[in-house]
Amino acid sequence: METYLIAGLGNPDKKYEETRHNAGFRALDKLAAGLHMTVTDRKFKGLFGSTITGGRKLMLLKPQTYMNLSGESVAAAAQYYGIPEDHIIVLLDDINFSCGRMRIRGGGSAGGHNGMKSIIGMLGSDAFPRVRIGVGAKKEQQDLAAHVLGKFAPEDREVMEEVFEAAAKAALCIIEHGVNEAMNRYNGLDLAADEKE
């Protein structure tokens, strides 16, 4: 049976729950809800859950290490179950895309994201799919940490719930149809623009 690991990135403390940096956690929560499962077991320095769907075993993981050590949790789970890189999918926030957009890639650099740097470093590879969830760029004079650890503006919250849902569906699309098909379906999507029409 094929096994996939889907990791949503974020920071564990309650004060970070609604922040931009926790977009990966939020998308993973949507995915778990859609699969009628919980991600509550304490394993691999994270919160973990597994299910079987469509003849595949899916493992969901929320690292509890804080963002910059996410790789410790992801690599521990991947190594324990012998999951190859192309069967690891990471959901994360991205300041390079506006709220309402996301971008799927089959591999590549960390793009300045500390969680991704950690995962690439611990896995020794960047050849794994990722779903980058747009959280909007910081203002010119704004500190980057303050931006990603800040909460979404009230006008963005509704569209972000839709993006988290879409990111969850994109992860399943990668598993069921491959990265290229998921890119074709989701990389041009702009849910904020759809709302304005």
Q: What is the number of other CB atoms lying within 10 angstroms of the CB of residue 121? A: 14
Tokens matching residue 103: 């971008």
Burial class (CB in 10 A: 0-12, 13-18, 19+), 1: exposed
Catalytic residue among 21, 36, 87, 177: 21
Q: In this structure, are residues 44 and 73 in contact, taking their beta carbons and an 8 Å threshold?
A: yes
Q: Which residue, 73, 75, 85, 71, is CA-closest to 39?
A: 73
Q: In this structure, are residues 91 and 163 in contact, taking their beta carbons and an 8 Å threshold?
A: no
Q: Which amino acid is at 28?
A: L
Q: Which residue, 92, 143, 97, 152, is CA-closest to 118?
A: 92
Q: In this structure, are residues 131 and 171 in contact, taking their beta carbons and an 8 Å threshold?
A: yes
Q: What is the number of other CB atoms lying within 10 angstroms of the CB of residue 54? A: 9
87 is catalytic: no
Q: In this structure, are residues 9 and 115 in contact, taking their beta carbons and an 8 Å threshold?
A: yes
Active site positions, annotated: 21
